[in-house]
């Protein structure tokens, strides 16, 4: 093995070792099994993209029969006792802090404050079943429109889970990967500005120098923009373009007035003409607190799409479940986001140390998981790319 590969392996062992040693922050121990055993069961269930029941049965067959490893009932009971009494805000903060605990292992967090670009996005996760409610009686499921394999919004509405995440999509000049640092759950009837406030409060303890916050078009409202403006945070977002309204010339910055129940607010706007997936000419409007130029759109809003990769990656390591307990569903999804973040960290370490061999980075991660979990981790991790 080459010298730089040895360095990468050492750093990779450090990162994955930290993730495995962090078991107690995710799950408590039971009367018979340690928190590490239960935590590893959840991790490998995500890596195998299977249900908890199937994973526990797989472990028991390999370990020598019933009682040698935790069963699905034991794991669910431990998680239910730990997270069942939590309200929605506490559950969100717990998942966000666990993700941040992994993110701060990057050397950029230990250096002087560098400017960061943070993306905030909404994501719908499909759900088939009856409406679900949290412990306070709020409906967690709602109707939304999902995207098909081509990336276009499907015409049929279906019931979904909706959540928002915040990710660092640019950290200085070198770190250009999405690092998830915020997580909040949406419920039916919740306002968008409340989501933005929760996300901002979660990332505030990291003491980041926020150069710009790129928010999804769903947050393009006066209340959201006003909150960010009051915090001294620059923002860029997609706006609504109306064909029947007269706008200034395309390709130039102009002042645009938003109006609604919250009053009026003037922001900078920029209209771009482009082609859709079907070849038709369409116009898109972008809104910002600063003067917009093509370079601003490229350097800021263009990096927003990196956060979309985190959702695609998290689906690859999603723990399958049919439980109607919403807090368990969100813990499972938090584990998926943790595995996705772990993957991003290892890819960055390999790239920063000069390892360009794609298969080496992947095989290294799989082999190290096998060493620590004493399990045969399947090649499902390859589906990240």
Q: How far apart are CA 285 and CA 39, in angstroms?
A: 45
Contacts of residue 26, defined as CB under 8 A and 6 or more positions apart, other chains included, come to 35, 39, 42, 98, 331, 334, 335, 338
Class of residue 93 by CB neighbours under 10 A (exposed 0-12, middle 13-18, buried 19+): middle
For β-strands 263-275 and 281-288, DSSP reports them as antiparallel
Q: Is the pLDDT of residue 1 over 60?
A: no
The position carrying tokens 């276009």 is: 152
Q: Is the pLDDT of residue 105 over 70?
A: yes
For β-strands 209-215 and 254-260, DSSP reports them as unpaired
pLDDT at 372: 55
Q: How far apart are CA 127 and CA 159, in angstroms?
A: 6
Contacts of residue 349, defined as CB under 8 A and 6 or more positions apart, other chains included, come to 8, 11, 12, 15
What value does the mean pLDDT take over residues 76-91? 89
Q: Where are the alpha helices (DSSP H) in 127-221?
A: 192-203
Q: How far apart are CA 202 and CA 204, in angstroms?
A: 6
Q: Is the pLDDT of residue 314 over 60?
A: yes
pLDDT at 57: 83
**For 42-81, how does the pLDDT look when each residue is reduced to its tens digit (9 = 90+)?**
888 888 888 888 888 887 777 666 656 788 888 999 999 9
Band of residue 3 on the pLDDT scale cut at 50, 70, 90? low
pLDDT at 382: 39
Q: Is the pLDDT of residue 147 over 80?
A: no
Band of residue 385 on the pLDDT scale cut at 50, 70, 90? very low
Band of residue 166 on the pLDDT scale cut at 50, 70, 90? very high
Q: Is the pLDDT of residue 7 over 60?
A: yes
Across all residues in the chain, what is the average pLDDT? 81
pLDDT at 367: 62
Contacts of residue 245, defined as CB under 8 A and 6 or more positions apart, other chains included, come to none
Band of residue 384 on the pLDDT scale cut at 50, 70, 90? very low
Q: Is the pLDDT of residue 378 over 60?
A: no
Q: Is the pLDDT of residue 149 over 60?
A: no
What value does the mean pLDDT take over residues 179-198? 92
Q: Is the pLDDT of residue 184 over 50?
A: yes
Which one has a higher pLDDT value, 370 or 297?
297
pLDDT at 172: 75
Angle subtended by helix axes 358-373 and 35-47, to nearest 10: 150
Q: How many CB atoms lie within 10 A of CB 129?
A: 9
Highest mean pLDDT range out of 157-171, 193-207, 277-291? 193-207
Q: Is the pLDDT of residue 225 over 50?
A: yes
What value does the mean pLDDT take over residues 72-96? 90
Q: How far apart are CA 95 and CA 194, in angstroms?
A: 18
Give the SS3 label for residue 213: strand
pLDDT at 66: 62
């Amino acid at each position: 093995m080459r010298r730089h590969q040895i360095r990468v392996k050492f750093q990779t062992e450090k990162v994955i070792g930290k993730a495995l040693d962090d078991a107690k922050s995710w799950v408590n121990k039971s009367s018979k099994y340690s928190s590490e055993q239960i935590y590893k069961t959840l991790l490998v269930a995500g890596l195998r993209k299977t249900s908890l029941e199937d994973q526990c049965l797989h472990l028991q067959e390999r370990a020598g029969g019933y009682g040698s490893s935790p069963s699905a009932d034991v794991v669910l009971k431990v998680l239910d006792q730990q997270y069942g009494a939590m309200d929605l805000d506490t559950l969100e903060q717990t998942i966000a802090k666990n993700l941040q605990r992994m993110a701060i292992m990057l050397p950029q967090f230990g250096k002087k404050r560098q400017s960061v670009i943070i993306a905030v996005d909404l994501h719908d996760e499909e759900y088939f079943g009856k409406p679900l409610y949290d412990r306070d009686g709020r409906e967690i499921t709602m109707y939304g429109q999902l995207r098909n394999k081509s990336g276009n919004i499907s015409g049929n509405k279906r019931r979904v889970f909706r959540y928002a995440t915040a990710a660092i999509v640019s950290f200085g000049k070198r770190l250009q990967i999405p690092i998830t640092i915020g997580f909040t759950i949406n419920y039916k009837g919740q306002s968008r500005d409340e989501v933005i406030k929760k996300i901002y409060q979660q990332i505030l303890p990291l003491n980041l120098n926020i150069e710009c916050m790129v928010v999804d078009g769903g947050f393009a409202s006066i209340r959201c923009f006003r909150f960010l403006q009051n915090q001294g945070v620059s923002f860029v977002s997609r706006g609504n373009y109306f064909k029947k309204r007269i706008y200034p010339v395309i390709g130039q910055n102009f002042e645009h007035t938003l109006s609604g129940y919250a009053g009026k607010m003037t922001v900078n706007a920029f209209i771009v003409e482009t082609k859709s997936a079907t070849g038709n000419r369409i116009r898109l409007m972008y809104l910002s607190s600063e003067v917009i130029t093509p370079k601003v759109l490229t350097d800021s809003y263009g990096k927003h799409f990196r956060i979309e990769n985190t959702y695609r990656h998290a689906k690859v390591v999603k723990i399958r479940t049919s439980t109607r307990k919403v807090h368990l569903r969100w813990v499972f999804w938090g584990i998926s986001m943790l595995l996705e973040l772990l993957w991003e960290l290892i890819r960055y370490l390999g790239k920063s140390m000069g390892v360009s061999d794609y298969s080496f980075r992947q095989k290294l991660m799989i082999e190290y998981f096998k060493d620590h979990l004493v399990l045969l981790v399947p090649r499902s991790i390859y589906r990240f790319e």
